[in-house]
Each structure stands twice: as C-alpha cells, then as structure tokens.
Structure 1
Amino acid sequence: MTPSLLPRLWYLQGVATGISIATGYGIGCLAAWLVRKCGVSPRYSERTKRIGRWTLLGFTVVLVPTFAILGAVSQQVVRDLVGVEEEHEANYLLVLVISLGIAALLLWIARASRSATNRMAAFGRRYVPAPVARIASLVVVIAVGLMIVNGVVYQGLIGLANRSAAAADHSTADNVVRPEMPERSGSPASAEPWESLGREGRTFVAGGPSAEQITAATGRPALTPIRVYVGRESAESISDAADLVVAELVRTGAFDRAVLAVATGTGRGWVNASVAGALEYTADGDSAIASMQYSFLPSALSFIADRESPKEAGRALFEAVYAEWESRPAESRPKLLAFGESLGSFGGQSAFAGAQDMQARTDGALWVGTPNFSPQWSGITEGRDPGSPERLPVIDGGANVRFASAAQDLELDSPWGMPRIVYWQHASDPITWWSFDLLLNRPDWLREPLGPDVNPDMRWIPFVTFWQVTMDMVFSADVPDGHGHTFQADAVNIWADILAPDGWTAADTEKVRAAMAE
C-alpha cells in the first residue's frame, strides 16, 4: 500500500497488493521449508497454536485497515504532486477484495503446479530413482507452464491484439483531413496514398503548424513545414519502407531545407505532436520531418511483445536518410536531427553506438521518455559524472549531452557545445525507471534524493516496488504535462536550446508556447 511514482487507481492497487500478498506468502513458505530442511521442526501445543492464531487475527484487524487508510492518504499526496483530481478514499475498501482474489488465484496456480509435480514424481518413482523422478517432473511442469503461458495465452492474445490493431489502423481520427499541400505525404502530389499511411500517419501529416501560424507566433517569414511518412502497408519490409521515406524526402525537396529531422515513432507510428510542432516553429518552418510506421501494435503491447521492430526501424530509417544526406554537397546539407519518444526513443537510439556516434552523425537529438532497457541511455547514465543523480545525470560537465526533467535543467554553469543531445525525462515516469532489477535491487534513483513530483515517502521494498512501478506504467501518460510519461510544453524551450537559432529570444519561446497552447 506504500506510494510509488504515480497515483494508482484502486483496482490497479488491488492487483499490485494481491501479487505482493502471494509473493510474501511464497517467501514465507520457502523460509519455513528451509528451516525444516535444517532439522528445526518445532511442535506447538494446541493452546499455543490457538493463542498464535488469535494474536495474528488481532494484528490483522488492526494493521490491514490502518495501512489501507495510510495507503489512501499517500495516494492523495501523489495526486497533489502531479496535479491529478482526488479519488474517493472509500474506493480503497475494494482493494482488499481484489487483492485477496488475485492472491488466491496465484496461490491456487502454485498449489496446482505443486500437486501436478508430486503426482508425476510419484508415478516416475516406479521406473527411476526418486531424485531423478522429482527433477524430471519439475522440469516437465515448468515446460508445460511456459508453453501454456507463451504459446496459448501470450501468443494468442498478441495475435488477437495485432489483428484488432490492424483493423483499427484503417480508421481516421476525428477532424483529421487529407492535406492538399505537396509538402505532405498522402497529398495529391505524394506517391504515398492517404489510405496507406495508417491512423497515426494520417494524423501526423495532417497536423502541425502552417507557415502563417508560425509567422503569427514568431513575427518572422516562414515556410510550410515538410512532413513525410510511410505506412506499414506500403512496403513488404522495414528497409523498403525506409527507402520510400527517402523518396518522399527527395520529392518534397526536404534536403534543401535548413533542418531535416528523423523521427522514430512508437508502436503504431505515433509521433508526439508537441515535439514535432515545436521543432517546426523553432526552425521557422524551414524544416522536414521524416517518419514511418513499423507495427500495428499499440506502444504498450510493443513494449512487452516486440522490441526488435523499433530497433530495426530506427536503424533502417536513419541509415537510409543519412546515406542520402551524406551524398549531398557538405555546404548545402540541412542540419540533421534525430528524435523519438518512448519506444521511438529506444528505436531511434539504436541507429547509434552511443553519445559520441550521435555527435559525429547528427547536428542534435532529442530523446524523450526513454525506456530503462535502452542500452545507449543506460550506458550514458552509468557513465555520469560523480555526484550527479541518476534521475538527472551530468555527462562530461554538460559539454554536449544534457538531461532535463524541465527546461531549466538544461542550464548548467559549463559551456554547451555543438551538437547538442538532450534526454528529456521525468522523475515520476515509470517508463524510464521500470526494470526487472527492481525485484531485488534498490536503484540509485531511490537511494538519492527523490524528484520534486515523487512522494517523499516512497521506499524500495524487494518485489513490492517492482509490481507497484509496473502498475504505474498502465496510465503513465494520463497525467498532466510535466509528470509521468506526458511531454508537451517544454519541447519549445528544448528545441530552441538544441538548435540555438540566430536571434531567438526567450520572448520568442513564450510566444510559441502560447501559440501551441491555443
């Protein structure tokens, strides 16, 4: 019931608590088994047992309601920190019901597995020595369990989700209209049909500011931003899709713009509209953004089921664009940028060996809400300057790579050279901090002072914290901007810092922020 990174809905709290109950019970059973194996097997009288049970019941009657109330109170503190509407505390009475149901189900599965193992071992002892029968039965039960979970449940659910997502991909979001300007994929001038772009692709190419909107906000002449996109259905392979993106870039004259950005999307090809739009405002529309779809699965399912496609797509797209960009005369090339959010950040970074490679082959990059399993992010974070926290590392004094939770975090005392690489992440974002290491190891970000939007009462507890942060991920994007996995307004400030446009002022940043907020 202790707090973690984000507010948990009562039913998610029930799931986390139920898993923790089953885990605690399992650890207790394991400890008792080890004690018995060591030859310690106390025999208590019926009177002692009765006293013990009544004592346990007394503790339960007092402690369970107490911690249910404390848990509800701590959740209100987390809600206040991230600006989420308060939830009625009475809902937490239902947590006990759900948690006991989850724990009972897990306990039944464990006992059914143990019973199957014992029966198979008893049968096997007729033909082989008892230790061999025991080990063999255990291996068989585990193998069958994995086959059921992976082959029937996991693959079946993922297959169903993929088919449903593919069907939904043919729909178009409300108020999204096919663009007429030739600078957009899916337009009448484009080689990519509007229908082939997918739901997120259509939203992407139809969105963004116009040249008139950019001029109204900045007071400077602007061009119509270029946005090119290729849908999953347009090519048989990811590499073929990347080649089609380059063809669209050539068609639109993207390599003649001042800025060219390679954006790796999330599972279904979503590109953060705030990050893309902020770049276009900051570049006065003299920009081109290239992206493509590599999956039908929503980001949450891709996070679990498919981590190869984002990497393949990130590498293929950047390498294809980079090859064409490098073939142009050096004096006429646009600034080459890279960005991505969540799985897009993970996939986009896969095109690079590390920070030095990013600096060598780009003119700047913005990685948003990077998942913990991203090797480039992990390597850079682990190599941070001594004394800098894990949630906001300082890398080589901030020479080229900087981390930020808010725009002001980019302001360090040391000079910031070019190119500039920014990792934008929130202290309360479970996508960035979730890791299997949480099961048994306390991470540095929980050893160090916590972030300003994290409940100061959050503590690491073996097993428990892992499941709490896992539940936090479910609605990590359903919190206000600046918290969790929601990244919007500060994109303007960050792009302005990365690009450092001539004559750009803090007043320009505020004007653009106001324009994008309308």
Structure 2
Amino acid sequence: MTPDPAESPSEGPPPSEDRSRGDRPGDDTGADASHGGPGEASPPAERAESPQAAEPAGAPESEASPAPAASTAAAPPPGATPSTATTRSAESPAPPVSGWRRFFRLTLPGCWGALILACLSFTPSLLPRGGVLQGLICGISAAIGYGLGVVLAFIWRAFADRGPRRAARTSWYVLLVCAVLLFGLFFALGQYWQHEIRQLMGVTDFNVHTAVACPFVAALVFWLLLFAGRGIRGVYRWVARLLGRWIGERAATAVGWLLVAGLVWSAFTGLLLNGLVTAANESFSVRDTQTPEGVHQPETSLRSGGPDSLVPWNSLGREGRAFIGSGPTERDIGAFTHRPAQEPIRAYAGLVTSDDTETRAARAVADLKRAGGFERENLLVTTTTGSGWVDPAAVDTFEYLSDGDSATVAIQYSYLPSWLSYLVDQSKARAAGRELFDAVYDTWSKLPQDQRPRLFVAGESLGSFGGEAAFSGEYDLRNRTAGALFAGPPNFNTLFREFSDHREAGSPEIEPVYKEGRTVRFTDDPATGMPPKDRPWDGTRVLYLMHPSDPIVWWSPSLALSEPDWIGQAPGGDVLEEMVWLPFVTFWQITADLPFSTGVPDGHGHKYKAAYVEGWNAVMRPTGFTTQDLDRLEDIIWPGR
C-alpha cells in the first residue's frame, strides 16, 4: 500500500515551525512554494542519486527544514510509486540555500505581481513618454508588484494555516507563457497609446531605439530595486539576530525593523536628499552670477539695477537681470496700440540682496517706490519660480494691455530650478509671496484712495503657490486686489485646493465652479470662455489657468492609493479617454511626467504662454482693444504660433 503523501515524514517540520523561522513578512526567498524556477522541481529519482547536488538548485533561504527531513524527502519511501513520490516532491518544502544565490531567487507570487503591474504601467498618463522613461516606470511598477505578490502570499499562507511549499515546474511554465503574451500585448498597446497622445499634442518626435530599449531598462531597474530591498532586509536580519541575544525573538524582530527603517529614512532624507540639494544649490548659485546673452544693464532709472537704483545690477541674479533687461519699451507699446504709451517700470531684488526675505522684499518695494511705481495706473506683484524666473509672456502682456502705464515688482528666493524648488523650497516660496505682497500693500494702503493704482497679483507654478500665501481666501483676494492670474497651480496650493474641493456639485475638477464664479474662475483656454458663462463676474476677478495635461496641477502623493475625481470624470481635450487610475502605477506615471511638463507644445502640459493674452484681458478688462488687437498681441507674445 502506498503511503499517504500528506502523512509522509518527507514533508519536513510542521507548518508552525516553518513559519516561525522561514516564512516572515517580506521573506520572499524563504521556504516558499513559489521559490525556485521551472527546473527546481526535480524528479525524486534524480535527487536520490545525488542529494547534495540537488540541494542548492532548489533550496530556499530559510533553514526551517532540518537535515534529516530533507534527506528523507530526497528518496521515496519503500513501496511508493513514482507518481506519489513526484506529488510529494512538488508539495514538500525546499532545502535551504545560503549565500549570494538568495539575491537572484524569485517567488512565483512575486513574479505574478511584477508581471501584472509591469503590464499596467504601459497605460497612458498625461504626457507622451519615451522608451527609457517607460522602462523606468515599468521597472519601478514591477518591483512594487513583486513586493505585493510576496506579501499577499504570506497573508494567504497565514490564513490557510500552512507552511510554504515549492511551486511545481508547470506553474513556472504557465507564468513564462503568460509573461511573453501579456507583456508583448501591453507593450504594443503602450506604443499605440503614446502615438495617440503625441497626435493630441502635436508632438512629432519619436525615437524607435528608445522604444526598443524599454524592456531592458525595465529589467535593470527591477533588479536594482529588488537587490536594494534584499540588502535592507539582510541588514534587518543581522540587527534582529544581534538584538536576539538580549531580548526575545518577537521583540528583536519588531525593534530590528524599526531601527533599520529609521536608519534608511535618515540616510535618504539626511544624507542623500540634503546632500543632493546642497550640491545643486551650490552649482546653481554659480550659474546665478551669469548674465544671459543679449541682456544689458538698463540706462533708465525706471528699472532696478539702472541709474539711481537702490538695487545693484550685479545683485539681481541671472533671472533677475533677464527680467529687468527685457520687456517691451515705450516705443514697442506705442507701435502696437497706435496711441501714446509709457515706459513700464520693473523692480526686482535678487537673493544676494539679503538673507532675510522680509528685508529683501522691503528693498524691492523701496526701489519700486523710488522709480514711481505707486504713481502708475496698474501695479503687479508677481511671485517668481524657484530660480527667480518670471514668465516674460505674463508681464509683457500686462504691460501691453496697460499702455505701459504699469509697474511690476518681484523678488528671488532660491537658486534652484523650478522642478527642484517644487519639491524642496515650498516654505521659501510661501514666505516670499507673503512678505512681498504685504510690503507692497502696506505702502499702497497708505495712499489716498483716489491715488492708488489698481493692484494685481500673478504667479506661475510655484509662483502661484507663493502668490496665494498672502491671502486667506476668496474674500481676502476680493478685498485687497483688483484681480489675480495664477497659471499652472501645484496641487498642494492651499486656496486652489479649497476652491476646487468646495466646487459646485456637477462641475468637473478640471474646470470647477466655485460660488457661482462670482470672484474665482478656472479655465484651460480663456479664449473659449470661463465657466459659468451665464453668471455675472463683477468686481475683482481671480482666474486660474490649468491644462488637463499638466502634471504639476494634478500630481499628489494621494494618487498612490486613492483615485482623484479628475480621472474618473470626462477627460480634458488633450488627455486620452483610456487613462485610468491604478494603485501605485498612476502615481509613478505622473511623477515621471513632472520633469517633462514643459517639453510639449504650448497650450499643453505646463506651458501657458498661449493663454496669457486672453487671461489678462479677462482679469484686467482694459479698454480700447479689439479682438483683432488681441490676435496681433498674441503674435507678439508668442511668435510663430
């Protein structure tokens, strides 16, 4: 009579003993049914001939199975038929493996998780992606999927109250076939979706070589992340063993995880991240001493850095000198309007002016007052992006529509470029926006009411975040300004989120309606109108420009685990209907879109030059400009559109 495999001693130690040592959470190389590859479920007859040779081939990392049990499993008991022995072999725990081979072992549940998320990473996001970028997203998604698969397998075994088992060779063959078919299918679909996005945005460049490189980049990223995770786990196990000499095993496990997690977090934020930011800050501070080609020190006292200015030319910084040394002149504006114009005033204070934001803002406002900025009809307070950049399209348009009877003031608060400041300089942007507006408002409010200029606020990207910081809400904006224009607001903007989250029922998140649009409105294209079109828009006008395809506007850490309204609703004009929300995957897709948000044609992504003419026309409501005049101005602001 053939023995029952379920009662065979070749099964090794009881499940509880296996779980106590070899089947911990995250132990993806333990004595798991899914460990090993297709060739590791060797026939028992072969193992009987050479048990020592067979042990490394299918051995897991765990040492839960004692040597006697392993040797018993190597040979079938007397009277057992080959079929029963084979069945018992497929179900038995694998012998242990030690050393570097553990780093290259994979589990079946982990591989299924990696395959699923890798395929889903090809779904479209907001912007076109090249092959290398897609490979990066695919590799990260696969690594996350692998980890999820391992954890889910552990939870399943815990509920099933059994130890880990080795996967049969057939299971690996099924995985291999599915991997080839599914990955090939989604790779092809991904190329089709990227083609459709490029068509929507008018992007023509496509590199077939980078598309072919995608799978190789994905594999490299996957293994690097897997090795990093296993390295961290190795440190944790070493710490847990060390602590186990003085405290119990469970306590050592918990304390070990906490210590290693804290060490990794401290190393990332304290050493790696801060080190990179410091190095970048030093590098870009050197760049800040340069002057862009074609920019010269002004000869007029109406500009900072010019004659009688309180702010020296060499203290303005690279972007400050570009801002001061450019823009339309009195002659340029008169040639456009065909009527008398004035020379616009521009005031600016660079980062080296003072280490203190309040002092820097006070210096800029003092220079603005010296130049006669508070005597103009229109006064614009604009918050810069990280490096001190002010979008020329925003200020030039403001000056043209003012007939030059305008003044603009700004200050620098960082050396870092916008995409990096977006991550690390939020507090500096908030302080700069608040201190500058408060300094301007303090002087402005002391003027007689009939002598005050119309006070406007503007900011793009992180500049909109800083520009909002001076105000507590809609009423404050309405009470202290004549209007505001914010372009590409980051998703973490306080007022932007308040207005969007409290929008009227039925209005989409990509174009929300807040309090019947009486003060604040949103649009992706002001030329087509700003909803609600049938409601009055009197008094102060606050306008947000935001493209449906702008990742700066829609990126949020919450994307990892929760679906935002804007994905579930009807997509914007430059977003594919096939875009869906996927846990973890969508977060990494839009994160990867961030650095390339300005690498698309104007009117898409994070590029708003095309919207400033109609946007400022709506906010300022200037007189004497026809539709044809606005078209001509767009040709000036956006040549070759």
Structure 2 equivalent of residue 222 of structure 1:
341
Note the alpha carbon deviations across 1:303-332, whole angstroms, 9 max, x for none: 112211000001000000000000111111
Q: TM-score, normalised by structure 2?
A: 0.79
RMSD: 1.3
Structure 2 equivalent of residue 377 of structure 1:
496
Is 1:495 aligned with 2:602?
A: no
CA contact (8 A) 2:236 2:257 kept: yes
> What displacement does 1:220 show?
2.3
Alignment-mate amino acid for residue 441 of structure 1: S
Is 1:121 aligned with 2:229?
A: no
SS in 1 for 2:352: helix
Q: 1:40 to 1:78 in 2, by over 3 A?
A: farther
Structure 2 equivalent of residue 10 of structure 1:
131
Alignment-mate amino acid for residue 202 of structure 1: R
**Matches of 1:435 and 1:332 in 2, distance apart?**
44
Q: 1:302 to 1:173 in 2, by over 3 A?
A: same
CA contact (8 A) 2:433 2:470 kept: yes
Structure 2 equivalent of residue 512 of structure 1:
633
Is 1:302 aligned with 2:421?
A: yes
Note the alpha carbon deviations across 1:350-394, whole angstroms, 9 max, x for none: 111112111111000001100001111100111111111000011
**Matches of 1:72 and 1:42 in 2, distance apart?**
43
**Matches of 1:455 and 1:202 in 2, distance apart?**
41
Match of 2:392 among 273, 276, 297: 273
CA contact (8 A) 2:140 2:222 kept: yes
Alignment-mate amino acid for residue 408 of structure 2: I
SS in 1 for 2:160: coil
Structure 2 equivalent of residue 153 of structure 1:
272
Alignment-mate amino acid for residue 612 of structure 2: A
Structure 2 equivalent of residue 99 of structure 1:
218
Note the alpha carbon deviations across 1:433-489, whole angstroms, 9 max, x for none: 000110011100001100000111111100000000000011101111110000112
**Matches of 1:473 and 1:128 in 2, distance apart?**
47
Q: 1:45 to 1:268 in 2, by over 3 A?
A: closer
**Matches of 2:318 and 2:214 in 1, distance apart?**
37
CA contact (8 A) 2:344 2:405 kept: yes
Is 1:474 aligned with 2:595?
A: yes
Q: 1:436 to 1:26 in 2, by over 3 A?
A: same
Alignment-mate amino acid for residue 200 of structure 1: E
SS in 2 for 1:66: helix
**Matches of 2:473 and 2:135 in 1, distance apart?**
40
Structure 2 equivalent of residue 32 of structure 1:
153
**Matches of 1:138 and 1:201 in 2, distance apart?**
49
> What displacement does 1:347 show?
0.8
**Matches of 2:172 and 2:384 in 1, distance apart?**
56
Match of 1:338 among 453, 457, 467: 457
**Matches of 2:448 and 2:165 in 1, distance apart?**
87
CA contact (8 A) 2:351 2:360 kept: yes
Structure 1 equivalent of residue 320 of structure 2:
201
CA contact (8 A) 2:414 2:425 kept: no
Structure 1 equivalent of residue 295 of structure 2:
176
**Matches of 1:114 and 1:499 in 2, distance apart?**
60
Q: How does 1:402-441 map to 2 (within 5 A)?
A: 402-407=521-526, 408-410=528-530, 412-441=533-562
CA contact (8 A) 2:384 2:463 kept: yes
Note the alpha carbon deviations across 1:159-196, whole angstroms, 9 max, x for none: 10000010110011121111112111111231211111
SS in 2 for 1:474: helix
The alignment covers a number of residue pairs equal to 516
Is 1:401 aligned with 2:520?
A: yes
Could you tell me which runs of 5 or more consecutive residues in structure 2 were left unpaired when the two chains were aligned: 1-121
> What displacement does 1:504 show?
2.9
CA contact (8 A) 2:598 2:606 kept: yes
Alignment-mate amino acid for residue 515 of structure 1: I
**Matches of 1:415 and 1:69 in 2, distance apart?**
50
Is 1:293 aligned with 2:434?
A: no
**Matches of 1:431 and 1:333 in 2, distance apart?**
35
Q: How does 1:51-62 map to 2 (within 5 A)?
A: 51-62=170-181
**Matches of 2:176 and 2:585 in 1, distance apart?**
23
**Matches of 1:329 and 1:319 in 2, distance apart?**
18
Structure 2 equivalent of residue 231 of structure 1:
350
Is 1:240 aligned with 2:373?
A: no
CA contact (8 A) 1:217 1:515 kept: no
> What displacement does 1:41 show?
3.8
Q: 1:261 to 1:61 in 2, by over 3 A?
A: same
**Matches of 1:187 and 1:301 in 2, distance apart?**
31
Q: TM-score, normalised by structure 1?
A: 0.97
Alignment-mate amino acid for residue 151 of structure 2: L
CA contact (8 A) 2:311 2:364 kept: no
CA contact (8 A) 2:351 2:414 kept: yes
Higher relative contact order by CA 8 Å / sep ≥ 6: 1 or 2? 1
> What displacement does 1:205 show?
0.7
SS in 1 for 2:529: helix
Compare 384-393 and 36-45 and name the one that shifted more.
36-45
**Matches of 1:511 and 1:53 in 2, distance apart?**
66
**Matches of 1:261 and 1:343 in 2, distance apart?**
17
**Matches of 1:292 and 1:22 in 2, distance apart?**
43
> What displacement does 1:236 show?
2.6
Compare 287-296 and 64-73 and name the one that shifted more.
64-73
**Matches of 1:167 and 1:137 in 2, distance apart?**
44
Compare 196-205 and 110-119 and name the one that shifted more.
110-119
